[in-house]
Amino acid sequence: MLVLVTRPQAECERTARALRERGHDVLLAPLLRIEPIADASIGEGRWSAVAFTSANAVHAIAAHPARALLLTAPVFTVGARTAATAQQAGGFADVRSADGDVAALARLIGTSGIDRTKPVLYLAGEERARDLDTLLAPYGIAVATVPIYRAVMAEALPRESRDALARGAINAVLHFSRRTAQAFLAAVEAAGLRAEGLALRHLCLSAEIAAPLIAAGAERVTIAPRPDQRALLDLLDPP
Q: Phi and psi dihedrals of 26, rounded to 5?
A: -135, 140
Q: Which of 31-40, 125-134, 218-227 has the lowest mean pLDDT?
A: 125-134
Q: What is the pLDDT of residues 176-189, one digit of tens each?
A: 989 899 999 999 99
**DSSP 8-state secondary structure symbol assigned to residue 111:** T
pLDDT value for 129: 67
Average confidence (pLDDT) over 79-85: 92
Q: Which of 21-30, 37-46, 162-171, 176-185 has the lowest mean pLDDT?
A: 37-46
**Is the pLDDT reported for residue 137 higher than 70?**
yes
**Is the pLDDT reported for residue 98 higher than 70?**
yes
pLDDT value for 10: 87
Average confidence (pLDDT) over 171-180: 94
CB 32 within 8 A of CB 181: no
- Say how far residue 98 (Cα) sits from the centre of its chain: 15
Could you write out the DSSP letters of every residue in the chain? -EEEE-S-HHHHHHHHHHHHHTT-EEEE---EEEEE-TT----S---SEEEES-HHHHHHHHTSTTGGGGTTS-EEESSHHHHHHHHHTS--SSEEE-SS-HHHHHHHHHTTT--TTS-EEEEEESS-SS-HHHHHGGGT--EEEEEEEEEEEPSS--HHHHHHHHTT---EEEE-SHHHHHHHHHHHHHTT-HHHHHHSEEEESSHHHHHHHHHHT---EEE-SSSSHHHHHHTTS--
For the chain, list the domains and their CATH numbers.
2-31+154-234 (3.40.50.10090), 35-149 (3.40.50.10090)
Confidence category of residue 130, pLDDT binned at 50, 70, 90? confident
Confidence category of residue 108, pLDDT binned at 50, 70, 90? very high
* Percent above pLDDT 90 for the chain: 83
Between helix 55-62 and helix 80-88 the angle, nearest 10°, is 10
